[in-house]
């Protein structure tokens, strides 16, 4: 009992001394209030960690509690901020370099579920006859309800040759209505090449470009591809220009803000492209005069999977009247996430650092972008038909003299 009283007295004396020292430092201006709060906060975390390790009913270690604390802090921020563990961070970095081990399907949020949005040709997912529109319900027997999209994507990736078990829900025709069936598939991951831009030439010298992700060099890659398609389209024509471009951003989850700015800059030659707003202030990104496709008739395809940086592209082009937006309402992710440098334990923080506004000041955080021409984005033929009709109308309008010019 005497020993406990002695320890308590020592603790009290040390507490009083610490209080006197801190108070003196504050009084003399040697420690500001924010520094004090940081000191007290960190001290509280250290005290809580020590108490948990000493008193919890099961053994705990410092690293486990530290990781849990970081996870808890980030999870309390918003639905898009997250912690990538060392393995997830390494896989993300590998995928940005062009190759990764996975199953070859793009997954996105659709009506609150994780839906298959597209398949890579000759991939394990394509070989297993997985279909666009299938919904992932379980991975390795675990129900994915409540997961983040990044968690699903991370579970689909892994080492080449490893196996992943999925349960999917699929809608199949059953008389006048569809019925839902469960489909179990076993996929073997393999090395895949990340192809985020696919282009081809459609009828009447109209180019088609599908961007599955907003990556830093998209604008440069798109420019190169369009010049190549222009050569193919005009080799037997006196006209040396494309008649139009269909830019497909359906199921594009976004990515780099740089990608959004440089991509819009291909089609407009002046004005603000996007404005970001964060606690560090407001920053605007403007177009340059280097605009190779300023007059090319343009249609942008969007759907419920079009998000973030892809919405910036569509929103800016819509605000300036530079493109006609065709498809369905977009995802509504009006925020910018930044991947910060890795922590000492190899994990990394991806946190929301700003929200964006389009040139007209619109924010899409709640309602998303509404198309100019609404079409069921799952009906591929209807979407392309609508896009081609819009371009045909634009070309016809450009070739028809106005009434004021007719004598």
Residue 314 clears pLDDT 90, i.e. is over it: yes
How does residue 5 score in pLDDT terms, banded at 50, 70 and 90? very low
Of 93, 81, 172, nearest to 133 (Cα)? 172
> Is the pLDDT assigned to residue 6 strictly greater than 70?
no
Q: Is 121 helix (H, G, I), strand (E, B) or coil?
A: coil
Instruction: Reply yes or no on whether the pLDDT at 401 is more than 90.
Output: no
Report the pLDDT value the prediction gives residue 241, as an integer from 0 to 100: 77
What are the two backbone dihedrals, phi and then psi, of residue 15, each rounded to the nearest 5 degrees?
-65, -45
> What is the per-residue pLDDT across 129-186, written as a single tens digit (0 to 9) for each?
998 889 999 999 999 998 888 789 889 988 899 999 999 999 887 777 778 899 999 9
* Contact assessment for residue 301 and residue 343, using Cβ atoms and an 8 Å cutoff: no
Give which of 356, 305, 351 is closest to 331, Cα–Cα: 305
- The HSE-up count of residue 67 (CA atoms within 13 Å, CB side) is 13
Q: Could you tell me which residues are beta bridge partners of residue 199?
A: 209
With bands split at pLDDT 50, 70 and 90, how would you rate the model's confidence at 14?
very low
Q: What pLDDT digit, counting tens, does each position of 27-44 carry?
A: 445 445 566 566 556 788
Regarding pTM above 0.95, the answer is no
Does 199 score more than 70 pLDDT?
A: yes
**What rounded mean pLDDT belongs to the chain?**
83
Q: Which residue has the higher pLDDT, 234 or 213?
A: 213
Confidence grade of residue 360 (pLDDT, cut at 50, 70, 90): very high
Provide the pLDDT confidence category of residue 269 given band limits of 50, 70 and 90.
very high
350 contacts 88 by C-beta, under 8 angstroms:
no
Domains and CATH numbers, the chain: 99-193 (2.30.42.10), 197-398 (3.90.226.10)
Sheet of 373-374, strands arranged across: 197-201, 206-211, 244-248, 298-302, 324-327, 373-374
Residue-level pLDDT at 39: 58
As given in the structure block, the two tokens for residue 156 are 């689909």
pLDDT in tens, 102-123: 898 888 777 778 888 778 878 9
Please tell me the predicted confidence (pLDDT) of residue 369.
Answer: 92
Stretch among 217-221, 253-257, 272-276 having the lowest mean pLDDT: 253-257
Mean pLDDT for 368-386 is 87
| pLDDT digits 0-9 by tens, 62-99 | 888 888 888 888 888 888 888 888 888 887 776 666 66
Neighbours of 390 (CB within 10 A): 21
- The half-sphere exposure of 163 on its side-chain side, counting CA atoms within 13 A, is 4
Amino acid 2: pLDDT: 46
Place of tokens 């960190």: 42
Confidence of residue 251 (pLDDT cuts 50, 70, 90): confident
Which residues carry out catalysis? 308, 319, 333
**407 pLDDT exceeds 50?**
no
């Amino acid at each position: 009992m005497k020993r406990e009283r002695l320890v308590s007295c020592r603790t009290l004396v040390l507490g009083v001394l610490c209080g006197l020292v801190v108070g003196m430092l504050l009084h003399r201006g040697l420690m500001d209030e924010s520094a004090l709060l940081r000191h007290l906060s960190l001290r509280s975390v250290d005290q809580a960690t020590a108490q948990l390790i000493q008193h919890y009913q099961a053994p705990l270690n410092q690293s486990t509690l530290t990781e849990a604390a970081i996870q808890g802090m980030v999870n309390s921020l918003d639905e898009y901020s997250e912690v990538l563990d060392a393995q997830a961070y390494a896989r993300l970095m590998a995928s940005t370099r062009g190759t990764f081990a996975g199953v070859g399907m793009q997954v996105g949020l659709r009506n609150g579920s994780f839906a298959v949005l597209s398949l890579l040709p000759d991939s394990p997912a394509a070989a297993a006859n997985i279909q666009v529109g299938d919904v992932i319900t379980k991975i390795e027997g675990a129900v994915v309800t409540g997961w983040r999209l990044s968690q699903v994507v991370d579970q689909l990736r892994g080492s080449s040759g490893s196996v992943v078990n999925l349960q999917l829900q699929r809608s199949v025709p059953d008389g006048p209505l569809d019925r839902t069936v469960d489909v179990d598939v076993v996929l073997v991951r393999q090395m895949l090449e990340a192809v985020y831009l696919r282009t081809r030439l459609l009828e009447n010298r109209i180019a088609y470009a599908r961007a599955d992700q907003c990556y830093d060099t998209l604008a440069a890659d798109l420019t190169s591809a369009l010049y190549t398609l222009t050569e193919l389209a005009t080799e037997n024509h006196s006209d040396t220009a494309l008649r139009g471009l269909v830019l497909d951003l359906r199921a594009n989850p976004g990515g780099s803000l740089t990608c959004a700015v440089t991509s819009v800059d291909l089609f407009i030659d002046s004005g603000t492209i996007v404005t970001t707003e964060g606690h560090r202030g407001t920053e605007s990104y403007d177009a340059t005069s280097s605009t190779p496709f300023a007059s090319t008739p343009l249609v942008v395809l969007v759907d419920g999977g079009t998000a973030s940086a892809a919405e910036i592209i569509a929103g800016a082009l819509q605000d300036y009247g530079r493109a006609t937006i065709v498809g369905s309402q977009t995802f509504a992710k009006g925020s910018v996430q930044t991947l910060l440098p890795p922590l000492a334990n190899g994990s990394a923080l991806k946190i929301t650092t700003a929200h964006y506004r389009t040139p007209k000041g619109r924010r899409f955080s709640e309602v998303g972008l509404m198309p100019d021409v609404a079409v069921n984005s799952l009906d591929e033929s209807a979407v392309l038909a609508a896009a081609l009709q819009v371009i045909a109308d634009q070309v016809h309008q450009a070739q028809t003299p106005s009434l004021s010019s007719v004598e």
